[in-house]
Structures are given as C-alpha cells and as structure tokens.
Structure 1
Amino acid sequence: MNSIIKRVSSVGIALTVTLLSVVGCRDYLEVQPQSQISISDAFSNVANATNAVIGVYDELMGDNGYGIRINMYYPYDSDEIIVSGNIDNGRRGIGRYQLLLTNTEIRNPFLQLYRGVEKANLCIEQIPLMPQYSNGTDAEKKELRRLHGEVLTLRAQFLFELIRNWGDVPAPMQPAYKQTDLFIAQADRDVTYAKLIEDLRLATDLVPWRTEAGTRNERVTKGAVKALRAKLALFRGGYALRSSGKMERNADYLTYYKIARDECADLLAKRGEHTLNPSFEDIWRKLTSFQYDPNGEIIFEAGAGGSNSTSDSRMGNYNGPSVNASSRYGVGGGGLLVLPNYFYAFDSTDTRRDVTVTMYAVGATNIKTPRRLGELTDGKFRKDWRNPLLPGTALNVGYNWPFIRFADVLLMFAEAENELNGAPTAAAISAFEEVRKRAYAGNTARIGTTPTTKAAFFDAIVNERYLEFGSEGIRKFDLIRWNLLAQKIQETRDKIQAIRDSKAPYNIPRYLFWRNNGEEIQWLNSFYKTTALTTAPTGWNRLDWTQHLTGNLIDGLPLHQGIARFFVTGKSELFPYDQATVDAYQGKLKQNPGY
C-alpha cells in the first residue's frame, strides 16, 4: 500500500504530459491540458519538484501499469503459469500469444509507459536547472540530487519495460515540448540500453542508501539503482529477437555481464542495507499485511493506493486463490493458473511451494476446498492473507508490486560470475546456495550438491530462478534473454503429458483424499507417491488429481486453453505495435517480425 508517497493527481508536469501520449493517437495533439501550473512554478522549490517526481511514480501503478496488466498479463504464458480461460482479444490473447493489433491490453499500457517517460524527461531536464540544485542550502541540494537520481531510475524502468516487450522502441530523452516531431524514429535497443545503464551509473551517486533515506521501498534508493542496473546489463548481454526474425546476442555481452556482477557484488557487501528475509513466507505475509521488513529483501516496489483504477493494484483480486464474495475475505482470485509441472518442480520440503502455489479455494463460509491439479492458483498475493481484511467486492486490494528482491541479486551475481569465469567461483556457489538454504529451512541437507561446471551450474541457476520467482513477472523474460522460451514451452507440454500418463519421473497419484479440519484442508495421501486407493475411506472425500488433466491444457483444442497455444519462435518473443500506433506513425514505425 502506498503509505509513503502521497499521490498528487494534478501537478505541474501534467501540463505537458498530455502531449506525451500521442505515441498512439494524433488526436491527442488537440487536447487542452487540465493543469494551470506552469513549468517554472512546478520546479520553483523543492516541495513542488517533489510533487512533480511523485507524478512520475504515479505512472508505475494502476490497471494499465503494474497494478494488473503489465505484471499479470504480459509475463504469461510461460512454463510456470498461464492465464485462465479461453482465448479472447484481451489478456488471454496475450497469454496464448495470439496477439491481434486491435488488442487494447497492448495499447493502453504502452501509452502509460510513455507517459511515465515524458514525465521523467521533464523532471530530468528541469531539476538540474533549478537554482537550488547548485546554489541552495546543503539540504536543498541533497534533496534535489536525490530527486534527479530517482527520475533517471524511473525513466530507465519505463523504457526497460517497453524494450523487453516491444524491442526497438522510440526512446525520447528530452521532453515533448522540445521535440519538433513527436513521432520520433525507433531507437536501436542496444543504444538505449547503453544510455540507461550510464544514467543509472550517475543515479547511483545521487540517491541515498535505504538506511540513510529513512523511507520504505516505494522510493528509489541506491540499492534499487544498482539492482536495476545489474538487471538491464544482463538483458543487454542476453538474447533478443531482432528485426531479422532471429534470436541473437551481441558479441560484447561479457562487458555487460561484468557490469551486472560488479553491481551485485556491491550489494552483497552491504548486508546492512539489503539481505534475505530468513523466511520465504514472511516476505509475502509482510507485503500483504503492509508491514515493514527490516531485512529490506524487497529492494524496490511500486506503491499502490487510492482504491481506483489509476493508482491502485488488483493483485489478490485478479490472481491468487478463488475467494467467495460472501467469505470474510471478499471476492477475488483465479485469474492465473499454476501449471502441474511447476507444482512438481518443487521438492516436497521446499518451503516455497506452498507460498507460491495455492491448492484451495475459499467458500462462502470461509471453509477451504481443494483445487484439482489443472486448477491450482498462484499464492504470493493471495487476498485471504490480507491484514487488515478487505471484505466485499472491492477490486483494488492495495498490494504493492515488488520489482526486485535481494534473492534476485544473489542469483544474478552467481549467473554473471559463472559466465565471466567459465565455471562457478566459490562466491557464485555461496550466493546460489544461500537462496536454496533459505528455501529448505530446516531441511538444508536436501539442497543437493551444487554443480561445478559452467553448463551444469547455468542449468541450476535457470531452475533456481524458476522456483524462487514464480508469479513475480520474471520467468518469461528470463527465458527470452537465455533464448530458452520456445524450448521450455515444449518441455512443459511434454511434462504435463508425462504427468497425465504417469510416466517417469512422475510417480503421482490419480486421486487425492481429503477432509476439512475446521476451515483448513487435511490430506490423507502424499502428492508425490501413488496410492492403490480409488474410493474415499469413510469420512474422507476423493479429489481428481492427475485424473483431472486433459489434452486441452496441452494442445488447446478445441477451446484454445492450451499453454502458449499460438506461440511462434521468431515472432512471439515480442509484442506487435497496436494498429492505432502504427497508423499514427504513418509508415515511419517498423512492425515487429511476424506481425
């Protein structure tokens, strides 16, 4: 919940931002701005400049931002989670990779991201021009430099999201009022990445560490800048779909792996700022209860608030376990489905499984009932964990969206070390095992032996990130930068078929037997071992488990429910530009391959 940054709906920068949205529609050029505040007033003092920067933060959240669409539609389908239901020209079309140019779920977030870029550009230009930036009091200079670093970082986040979804996007680096043509040419993403990585180097020196700032994670701090810079460097050094229609990586990729390694190493050396929460579950309990985590594992998160579609979030209402409107928790959940192979990717003693995956729905009387194997839902943002409870039919739950956690820093460090050295170093192994040991709390002997060859350690990193970051909007983009998305989608289909057919290595029951113990579910048999039982014993209920799986989940026929049903490698790694945007550019915008 946005408890630190108070939202300002009409600040000075609004008078130019109207023109920034014209990326998709020339008619916006005729819209008159609503704000009566001039640029000079908006940047006349520190307080007004702060309000202007809050206006930049505003563009992170809401239905067209990281409140639902960018973070819960765009990252799926993958090998972990799919969107629920049959195909449509909306979120399910995105998930199944049948991306039509008229899909508004593509267009509206695209426009909001560019509004964020424009607002950031105006702040980036104006804040250093303020007299107080160079000649103010020490306190004024310190705060304005912090604001400057924040907007450099926010612009990098907006453009990063645009690049990883659309590729070579227009990348304006100055405000609209200085552009003679608002429909600027597409920029080479490598050039844009280089610019953003340099911007973040500068921002690192402008913003404070978390403990110095005295704020929560809704404002950018030094840890957030370093973590984002590492992530951008790995994407710049990774594979990407090029205009040729091929997945390619640049020859200089190790240069960027070194940047990532060094930034992560800096963070690993500052454990007083950010470190792992000892409990994986506690990360999400605190997030859904709006509590401060002294470990600072979540390094940066988008603040939600206001109970509306423009500034709040719908995590817990859209996704998570299905919750009946008449329960104490209020209606919600069911928008994302956890795939059977993902459930079985977890060891039975891995504490992440029952946090990441929910195996129940909540009924009208608050009693939980089990979900079948093809109906499992994600669990990190579940509504029934919300504290205080939010009964009724409220769409906006107030959950913040975490961009990056310290666990990500540990695994990025391990990945980069392995790539740079040709084998995992002792430091890389230590970072990797730190994440695993937390996952197996109380059973650390089960973490297994860490591989010591480059290829095997890379495979272990790929798997560990899979288990650690389920439903955090990370997996699909990781697979793209590794050029593994097509492979993992096919492996997922094969694994679900093997689960359905009870083939090795899946020794899984066809039925589970359960009963309620109060409101909770009690299981009779193991998820991981077959049973000879086919009829429920007295007092127990039978649940179809592998028996529930059908071919629809795999091949999507006839209802197009199947995983990534229309995925085509060399096309589906990027979104298309929507038709209105293409029309507005009047032939100057090159469509992405295959569309």
Structure 2
Amino acid sequence: MRKSFITSALGLSLALAGLSSCQDFLATTPDDFVAPQGFYNNESQLTAALMGVYGKLGQEITYTGSTEESTYSRFLSLEAPAATDEMLARSNTAPAVSQYGYDAAHANLVNCWSNLYEAINRANVLLENLDKANTSDVVKAQIRAEALFLRGYYHFVLVGYWGDVPLKLQSTTAANNVDIARTPAAEVYAQVIRDMTEAEGVLKNGTEWGHSGRISKTAAAGVLARVNLYAAGRLNDPSKYAAARTWALKVINSGQHGLNPNYSQIFKNHSADIYELRESMWEVEFNGNGVGSIYNEGGRFASTLGVRNDITELGFMQGTYVATGVQYALYGTGDLRRDWNIATYYYPNYDATRGATPYASTYTWGRYINKWRREGEAFKPYAKNLSPTNWPLLRYADVLLMFAEADSQVNGGPTAAGLDALNQVRRRGYGLPVGTAAPTVDVPTGQSQSAFFTRIKDERGRELAFEGWRKLDLLRWNIFLPTLKGMIPIISTQAPSSSNNALGYNGRNSSLVPYQNASERDLLWPIPANELALNKLMTQNPGW
C-alpha cells in the first residue's frame, strides 16, 4: 500500500516526537523522548525512529491533533521561496517571509529552525544507538545511510537559508549546554557532502523501495549534484561544478530514470497516490487528509495554492499565491507547461459550483498557480485544508538541467551532452518526443557560455516553476536582489493598477510590496530571536 512505510511505523515514531521547540532547540533535552536504553532494540524500532527523522520533512499530526506546517507542508514550499520573479503572495499586508517585512521572531521562521534541528537531533540519536539493535548488519547499514543522508539534508536547508549555522553531529544530552557557536558555511557544506556521499554508497535503488518516499541511491546522487551547485555559487567555489557534473551524470548513466512524456501527469500523480519512479525521484510524503485517523499526515500546500474555491465539497483552495506576469511571459508559444502551471480560469465568487470562467487572453498578471489540482486527490470526500498530495524534492528534469549547467561551467561553454540534456527538457515541454531533434524547439549549437547560462536560467524557471527552487537559484547565481529590484519598474508599468480579487489579483500596490521591501539583509534569514536570547555564542546575520 502506498505510503505504508510511514504509517506502519508511525505509532512508534510518534513516541519519539516529543522534542520541545518552544525553547532554544540546540539546548533542549527532550522531555518525553523515549530513553535510548528502552528503544532501538530491533529492526521495527529502528525503522520507527528513522520514520521520525523523515517525518520532519512534512507535517506531523500529534495525538492531540495539533499540526506543524513549518517545513514542506506549507512554509518551505510556499512562503519561504516567495516572492521572486516567479510568484508572490496575493496579499502582502501581514508580516511574512514572502513580503520581506518580517523580523527574527516571525513564528514560521522560528518553528522552521526548531524543526530542522529537531530532525537533526533525531538522526543523531538514531545513529548513536543503531549498533545495539538485534538485527542484521545489512539492515543497520541501510538505516544508517538514510539517517546520515537526512542529517545532511536538514543541514543543507539550514545553510541555504541562514548561512553559517551550528553543525550538530551529536545528539543533545544535557539541558545546560546552551551555548553553541555558528559553523562557517563552507564547513557545513563539506559535512553535508561527506554525509550524503557516504550514504549514497550504501542506499538502495528506488526500484527496491517501489516508491519515492525513502531516499534512493540515484536520488542521493541527484541531491549531491544540487548541493555542489549551491556550494559553488554561495561559497564562490567554482571547483564544486565538477563534482556537481559528476553526480548528475551518475544519475543519467544509471539508466533508471527518464522524463515522463506528459508533463502534467507528474503532478497529477503527486495527488493520486501514484509513484512514477523514473521522473519523480524523491518526494515529501503526505498521507490522507487528517480526518478519522491520527496516522493521516495531510499537507497544506495543495489547498493553499490553486484557483481560489471556497467550497469545501469541491476541493477548497485558498489561492494564496499567484504567478507574476514575468513568469507567464517566460513561456514560448506552444509550451504546454504554461497552461498547466498557471491557471487559465477562475471561479466567480470563489464558487466552483458555478463552473470555471476563462481568463481573458490579455490578462497575464496575477493568475492563480494551478500546478497541483485537488480534483485528482486520492482521498474523498475532501478535507478543507489537508491534502494527500506529495511535494517533489527531486525530479529527473532537474537533474538534466543541473548537468547542463555544471557541464557548461566545467567546459567553458555548452557541450553536445549539455545541449542534449537541456533540449530533452524543452522538447517534453512542447509535447514532443524527448529523444528526437526538434529544430523549432531545441537550443542551437554555437551558444556562448553566458548565453547558455541565460537559457538554463530561463528553462529552470519554466520547468520547475512553483516547486520551491527559484529563490534559492537566484541566491546561488548572485542575482537575487537585482532580479527583485528589477521587478519594480515591470510591475509599475505592466501590472494592472487596480485590484480584481475575483481574478486573484490584489492590485499594483500590493504586488510591489515585497520588491520594495527586499534589501541586502534578505540574502539570509535572521537567526531566530529565541535562539539569540538563550545562546550566548550565537550571532545575528547582517542587517537584522
């Protein structure tokens, strides 16, 4: 059964979930954490503990019914990566990361920090107690590899958004150890790469799992390509491009992956409980809709996006985030991805019972995002807010684009292999066979390195739209602030001046807010206020 790897162990992993996040997490000793001497004794308990590490990727529903949305359930998937030239929040009146008008006490940011370190602590506790279990060395090696990879991944998220962060390689053992200094970002990246590389050598292939919820060997290689690309840009270390190219090429040469010929089907599968391992390599698992069972771990992003619809019975959607006119214009004539990713319709009075009304063809600013559509969800009837739709962390199309980018950096310009990787993605976007040359769609030979980079930058924007990578890409390319400030004259001259809430657009003044607010300090998030108050060795990021 799909997602059974989560639900089968959840009863045990919930017993491991009591790590407090209301204080300085780095200094917190869990109050209701199962004592190591009473757990980690057999394969079932090791698996339960491992699922507790995975659980922090998404949303957890506790025995009391409370929910947590500070990672990929909603915050890391939506608020954190907005606003850019790709998307923005429909309303920008309340303080939020997406409007660059928040502070170090912003609840979602504080909770994200706490949950990422809680996940790291769970991984460390598991790694420290794994060897005592009465199970085979093969099982222990696999679980160790997954825990190592996840520890690396959570550190990767932290360093990407906060820069220098404490590197935690041991579990918290005493509440009085409250002062932990930040580790330079270069050291954090180096440890992430070590953890993931060790894990990749042991992990199973995705076909052995039969699903994309647990990290596989090729998915780990793909993420290692991403980590090295980020390190190359954020650390200004061009030597990392060679490693990024090597890891991406390893995925390509494995023969285990390929592009789904139908772009929209990828995202339909995320909602319909269908695994398509060739393209969708790693996903954050959400299960059920939170109704009727504590083991249902529904997510919030699918009901937060979408064409606004206030009718729960027809799949409630808040329509909180919308596409920019820049994103709409990025797609060429005939590119099928535009009308899948960006809505072609809206519901009058937010009432889906009235049927869809098409947008005018000239209306291109502030359309709803429509990449995941609730009508395809596997669980019915609908819950208002919670959805079983999975969040993609790695797709094969991304691997191809990462290879093309890194290959060009290594070779001083695009090679035939790099062009082919990029063109496969482009052909699929136009509904064409990916292995057949298409002169009207393909990027031609003879591109300079800078011209090819522009092609890569734009293609990543088209292909990976609204999947949470645009802001991080702009940051690693060192064009984040120029891109955001460049939106001001575009909005001021091209976006409609007045609001039209029925269409999902709150007006020019609202749209301008995040771009006017953004400043040098937004290159990094602020260290949470409670961490600074309790940790005497902690320092704040510039400008906060």
TMscore range, shorter length: 0.7 to 0.9
Which of 158, 161, 164 aligns to 1:162? It is: 158
**How far apart, in 2, do the equivalents of 1:499 and 1:384 lie?**
33
Q: Quick check: 1:590 aligned with 2:539? A: yes
Partners in 2 of 1:17 and 1:256 — Cα distance? 38
Match of 2:41 among 39, 44, 47: 44
Matches within 5 A, 1:518-557: 551-553=508-510, 556=512
Q: 1:331 aligns with which of 308, 313, 316?
A: 316
SS in 2 for 1:358: coil
Q: What CA deviation, in whole Å up to 9, does each residue of 1:352-387 have, x standing for no partner? A: 101111132243425002455443111122223334
Match of 2:73 among 67, 73, 77: 67
Partner of 2:265: 282
Out of 193, 203, 227, the residue aligned to residue 189 of structure 2 is 193
Q: Distance in 1 between matches of 2:40 and 2:452?
A: 51
> Could you tell me which of 329, 345, 357 is aligned with 1:369?
357
Instruction: State the alpha-carbon separation in 1 of the partners of residues 490 and 260 from structure 2.
Output: 32
Distance 1:567 1:543, change over 3 A: closer
Give the total of aligned pairs.
518
Aligned equivalents of 2:178 and 2:196: distance in 1? 25
Question: Is 2:245 aligned against 1:296?
Answer: no
Cα distance in structure 2, aligned partners of 1:194 and 1:75 = 24
3-state SS of 2:489 partner: helix
Instruction: Please say if 1:6 is aligned against 2:2.
Output: no
The aligned amino acid for 2:279 is E
Deviations 1:533-555 (A, max 9, x none): xxxxxxxxx9999xx8954255x
- Residues 21 and 120 (structure 1), Cα distance of their counterparts in 2 relative to 1, 3 Å cut: farther
Report the counterpart of residue 530 of structure 1 in structure 2: none
Separation of aligned partners in 1, 2:260 and 2:289: 29
Q: Superposition pairs for residues 490-509 of structure 1, below 5 Å?
A: 490-500=485-495
Q: What is aligned with 1:408?
A: 398
CA contact (8 A) 2:305 2:318 kept: yes
Distance 1:442 1:256 in 2: 33
1:122 Cα shift?
1.2
CA RMSD of superposed structures (Å): 2.9
Give the direction of change, closer, same or farther, for the CA distance of 1:442–1:412 in structure 2 (3 Å limit). Answer: closer
2:6 alignment partner AA: I
Q: Where do residues 109-148 of structure 1 align in structure 2 (5 Å cutoff)?
A: 109-127=112-130, 129-130=131-132, 140-148=136-144
Q: Secondary structure at the match of 1:191?
A: helix
1:458-484 Cα deviation digits (max 9, x unpaired): 111111101111110000000000001
1:186 is matched by which residue type in structure 2? Answer: R
**1:419 aligned partner:** 409
- 2:121–2:171 CA contact under 8 A, matched in 1: yes
Q: Deviations over 1:411-449 (max 9, x none)?
A: 111111100111111111111111111111249443154
Judge conservation of contact 2:90–2:506 (CA < 8 Å) in 1.
no
Distance between the aligned counterparts of 1:592 and 1:152, measured in 2? Answer: 28
* Alpha-carbon spacing, 1:396–1:330, altered in 2? closer, same or farther (3 Å): same
Give the percent of matched residue pairs that are identical in Structure 1 and Structure 2: 24
Hey, what's the Cα distance between the residues in 2 that align with 1:442 and 1:282? 15
Could you tell me how far apart the structure 1 residues matched to 2:414 and 2:225 are? 18
Q: What is the CA–CA distance in structure 1 between the aligned matches of 2:323 and 2:367, rounded to whole Å?
A: 5
Question: Once the two structures are superposed, what CA deviation does each residue of 1:275-313 show, in whole Å capped at 9, x if it has no partner?
Answer: 1111111111111211121x5211111111254499421
Counterparts of residues 305-344 of structure 1 (less than 5 Å) = 305=287, 307-308=289-290, 311-325=297-311, 328-344=313-329
2:103 pairs with 1:104: no
Aligned to 2:388: 398
Residues 372-381 or 43-52, more deviating: 372-381
Deviation at 1:180, TM superposition (A): 7.0
Aligned with 2:401: secondary structure?
A: helix
2:248 counterpart residue number: 264
Equivalents in 2 of 1:317, 1:375: separation in Å?
A: 18
Distance 1:351 1:286 in 2: 18
Letter in 2 for 1:59: K
| Cα distance, 1:72–1:491 mapped onto 2, change above 3 Å | same
Asked whether the 8 Å contact 2:91–2:506 carries over to 1, the reply is: no
Question: Counting helix residues as a fraction of each chain, which structure ranks higher?
Answer: 2
Larger Rg: 1
Quote the Cα distance in structure 1 between the aligned partners of 2:287 and 2:14. Answer: 21
Q: 1:118 to 1:146 in 2, by over 3 A?
A: same
- Tell me the equivalent position of 1:577: 527
Q: Secondary structure at the match of 2:233?
A: coil
Call closer, same or farther: CA 1:576–1:190 in 2, change over 3 Å.
same
**1:24 touches 1:580 (CA, 8 Å); kept in 2?**
no
Equivalent position to 2:86, from 70, 80, 86: 80
TM-score by length of 1: 0.81
1:179/1:155 CA distance change after superposition, 3 Å: farther
Which of residues 455, 459, 474 is equivalent to 1:460? 455
353-362 vs 404-413, greater mean Cα deviation: 353-362
Q: Distance in 2 between matches of 1:476 and 1:67?
A: 18
The one-letter code of the counterpart of 1:313 is G
Distance 1:543 1:347 in 2: 27
Matched position secondary structure for 1:170: coil
Select 1:381's aligned residue among 348, 372, 396: 372
SS of the counterpart of 1:185?
Answer: coil
1:555-587 residue CA offsets vs partner (Å, 9 max, x unmatched): x3xxxxx34331002x111111222221111x3
> CA deviation digits over 1:505-533, x for unaligned, max 9?
xxxxxxxxxxxxxxxxxxxxxxxxxxxxx
Aligned partners of 1:260, 1:46: CA distance in 2, in Å? 34
Contact 1:7 1:58 in 2 (8 A): no
Aligned to 2:63: none
Residue 380 of structure 2 is aligned to residue 430 of structure 1: no
Q: Any runs of at least 4 consecutive aligned residues in structure 1 with deviations exceeding 6 A, and if so which? A: 542-545
TM-score using structure 2 length: 0.88
- When residues 22 and 173 of structure 1 are mapped into structure 2, their CA distance, relative to the original with a 3 A threshold, is farther
User: Residue 333 of structure 2: which of 330, 340, 348 is its match?
Assistant: 348
Opposite residue 493 of structure 1, the aligned amino acid is: I
AA of the residue aligned to 1:344: A
The match for 1:447 among 430, 433, 441 is 441
Structure 1 stretch 176-185 or stretch 148-157: which is displaced more?
176-185
Gap runs ≥5 in structure 1:
240-248, 502-541, 557-561
